[in-house]
Structure 1
């Protein structure tokens, strides 16, 4: 038996654009179910918003997202969470960084760090903070 943890991002009307963007970065398949598709329209203006969505790539990348309906509280918050993207190959991680950084605010440029061959942090154009690094073996000495 195994369990997977998948980051689930909550938006207010930007889930479709965010999922489409992440699919353009990581590849894979994007699936979106709107409130209309699910027969759960409570506000006509929100009928085409995403009730459930996911990007799933062969590399193992997964992210889920939805649009919080207007009748529910939502606040993007300040540093409420980070999405950690870790890879074993510098070339692969650098390629993801390049794509994610389109329209982003770079908080820490991608480069060597004391604990990793490459490390960087950015806030993408949807307000999601990504911590990106190349996995290295931990050496306590």
Structure 2
């Protein structure tokens, strides 16, 4: 079994996936509404209906845009991404990159349990819980 977090956006899925690719690397595959079904609305045609960023075999981020007529969502309200690192420098770098144009909710600092921990909400409203072994 693989855990594939699925993020929903209002027209920002493409930009969000490209941003995450700039942070984590990986291969990006995007299918747009206009490729999968007929629509006369150009704004709908460019929306992402299925986007997958494959970082490695155990780390994928999937995303979509809410298509008109589909149930609405509140971005970031029900999903947070959790990242654990054995390398504190790598964790610090990722925390810093994700916080660009975002909001640092909890600074990435040493905690009582001996590790490092922080929470950041990125520029797309997605919350990331990041921890590392000290």
Corresponding position of 1:119: 117
Moved over 4 A (4+): none
**Structure 2: how far apart are the matches of 1:94 and 1:78?**
22
**Structure 1 residues without counterparts, runs of 5 or longer:** 137-141
**Structure 2 residues without counterparts, runs of 5 or longer:** none
2:36 is the alignment partner of 1:38 = yes
**Structure 2: how far apart are the matches of 1:97 and 1:17?**
19
The structure where helix makes up a greater share of residues is: 2
The TM-score, its normalising length taken from structure 1, stands at 0.86
2:70 is the alignment partner of 1:56 = no
**Structure 1: how far apart are the matches of 2:101 and 2:56?**
25
How many residues get paired? 134
The within-5 A match list for 1:1-141 is: 3-41=1-39, 43-58=41-56, 60-76=58-74, 79-135=77-133
SS of alignment partner, residue 80 of structure 1: coil
The TM-score, its normalising length taken from structure 2, stands at 0.90
Quote the RMSD (CA, aligned, Å).
1.9
